Amino acid sequence: MCVKTLVLEFPPHVQRVILSTASVRLRHHHQMQPPTVSSAEMSLSSPNSPSKMLPPVAPQRSMTMLRPALACCKLYISEARNAQALRAIERAAAGLRPAAVLVNAFADGAYNRIGYTLVSPLLAGGDGASPLHRAAFGVVAAALEAVDLGAHAGAHPRLGVVDHVAFHPLHGARLEDVAALTRAVAADIGDKLQVPTYLYGAAHREGRTLATIRRQLGYFTPNAPGEQWQGAPDESSLAVAPDAGPGKPSRSKGVVVVGATAWVDNYNVPVRTADVGAAKRIARAVSERGGGLRSVQAMGLAHGDGTTEVACNLLDPATVGADQVQERVRQLAAEQGLDVGEGYFTDFSQEKIVEMYMQSAEAEASQQ
């Protein structure tokens, strides 16, 4: 068998993850040699960079399997440094395999934040809840048990232990179906786990955006020196009443924002300066809100000692993609006499995610 080596470059504080069929393993990229990838492993890659893609690892017959309507759930959790907590969360994520499959994990030490991507068919189980519903709820419950927001600190904004849960339709799925699933998951999080829960996107009755509810809740304002977010939120009141759950957040859990939208790419561009103000000016100018690129949201954030980053959400990546964002950030940085590094995605493309799920489903079926 021909074994291929995959070499990826990420900023110093980013951890990359190799997913095997049995586990998720986190490794800091300073401590890691270029991984040797076998047919049993899948490694994080830029979704729009074919030279960095893994070749298909399942037999060709997997591509002929009937594909069900698929959806994915991305969960962003305020922890990336506590290995014991991450293991507990990942055990929960693996609990419904093969019905729901964990296809990606991306950790950032400077942000103290990790993102997980779960994929599952939009099919109800015997109890009426889809595998994706049960898997997402299980990961949220495990994270709330394992992580204390009061002890958390990092350079990325957050509102809670589980800061953000995003559902997206994939192959054959409709946004309205995913929105219904999202509302059901949010209701369970609020009522059963007793966390104030907010809806956005197609799951919200008025289509409220993620940026809007975050702004209303003070998400973008650091609360600690050095452009950091530290400790628990104010327990006294919430600026907006939650859609589910109690009216006050606990110091250990915070709040959760849950939504359903079309696919979003997350693309971050390193800026070689310690001046967070400069990164914020670039982020403002590159974003649609600041008169920049349409359908682009951006934040300027500290990203470790002496570096910053422009972290972007590409809401319509088919129209405005990473290449355009990279070039515009480069231009804006040059106007301030600054250099930028090569940007990176924090997840696979939706096409790659579907392919990985189908490969996993084929592998599981072949063992039965």
- 257-275 tens-digit pLDDT: 999 999 999 999 999 999 9
How many domains in the chain? Answer: 2
CA distances 44 to 34, 250, 276, Å, are 12, 34, 28
Q: Does residue 307 lie within any of the structural domains?
A: yes
Q: Does residue 362 lie within any of the structural domains?
A: no
Percent of the chain with pLDDT over 90: 72
Of 64-68, 206-210, 235-239, the one with minimum mean pLDDT is 64-68
Q: Which amino acid is at 225?
A: P
Residues near 255 by Cβ (< 8 Å), separated by ≥ 6?
159, 160, 195, 196, 197, 198, 217, 233, 238, 242, 249
CA distances 288 to 75, 98, 157, 213, 248, Å, are 25, 40, 20, 17, 33
> Of 220, 245, 262, which residue constitutes the final position of a domain?
262
Q: What is the CATH number of the domain that holds 139?
A: 3.30.990.10
Please name which of 79, 109, 157, 107 lies closest in space to residue 13, comparing C-alpha atoms: 109
Structure tokens at 143: 């994270």
Q: Are residues 250 and 329 located together in one domain of the fold?
A: no
Q: Does residue 76 lie within any of the structural domains?
A: yes
Peptide bond just before 98 cis, omega within 30 deg? yes
* Structural domain that includes position 334: 265-345
Q: Are residues 108 and 211 located together in one domain of the fold?
A: yes
pLDDT tens digits, residue range 325-349? 999 999 999 999 999 999 999 999 9
Q: Are residues 148 and 242 located together in one domain of the fold?
A: yes
Please tell me the predicted confidence (pLDDT) of residue 61: 41
Q: Does residue 46 lie within any of the structural domains?
A: no
Q: Does residue 55 lie within any of the structural domains?
A: no
Residues near 189 by Cβ (< 8 Å), separated by ≥ 6?
137, 140, 162, 165, 195, 197, 244, 245, 256, 258
- Polymer length of the chain: 368
Structure tokens at 131: 């595998």
Please tell me the predicted confidence (pLDDT) of residue 12: 56
Q: Does residue 41 lie within any of the structural domains?
A: no
Q: Are residues 195 and 283 located together in one domain of the fold?
A: no
Please tell me the predicted confidence (pLDDT) of residue 128: 65
Q: What is the CATH number of the domain that holds 298?
A: 3.30.70.670
The pLDDT of 48-70, averaged and rounded, is 49
Q: How does residue 323 score in pLDDT terms, banded at 50, 70 and 90?
A: very high
DSSP string for 151-201: G-EESS--SBSEEEEEEEE-TT--HHHHHHHHHHHHHHHHHHS---EEEEE
Taking the C-alpha atoms of residue 261 and residue 24, their distance in angstroms, rounded to an integer, is 27
Average pLDDT, rounded, for the chain: 85
CB 304 within 8 A of CB 30: no
Q: How does residue 213 score in pLDDT terms, banded at 50, 70 and 90?
A: very high
Q: Are residues 242 and 306 located together in one domain of the fold?
A: no
* Structure letter (DSSP) for residue 75: E
Active site residue 156: yes
To the nearest 10°, report the CA torsion of 164, 18, 9, 359. -90
Regarding predicted confidence, which is higher, 366 or 310? 310
Q: Are residues 183 and 102 located together in one domain of the fold?
A: yes
Q: Are residues 249 and 292 located together in one domain of the fold?
A: no
Q: Are residues 248 and 299 located together in one domain of the fold?
A: no
Q: Are residues 80 and 203 located together in one domain of the fold?
A: yes
Residues near 72 by Cβ (< 8 Å), separated by ≥ 6?
103, 117, 118, 119, 120, 132, 167, 168, 170, 350, 353
Q: Which amino acid is at 338?
A: L
Q: How does residue 81 score in pLDDT terms, banded at 50, 70 and 90?
A: very high
Q: Are residues 144 and 212 located together in one domain of the fold?
A: yes
Tell whether the model's pLDDT for residue 230 goes beyond 50.
Answer: yes
Q: Which of 156, 164, 171, 204 is catalytic?
A: 156
Q: Are residues 183 and 290 located together in one domain of the fold?
A: no
Q: Are residues 191 and 89 located together in one domain of the fold?
A: yes
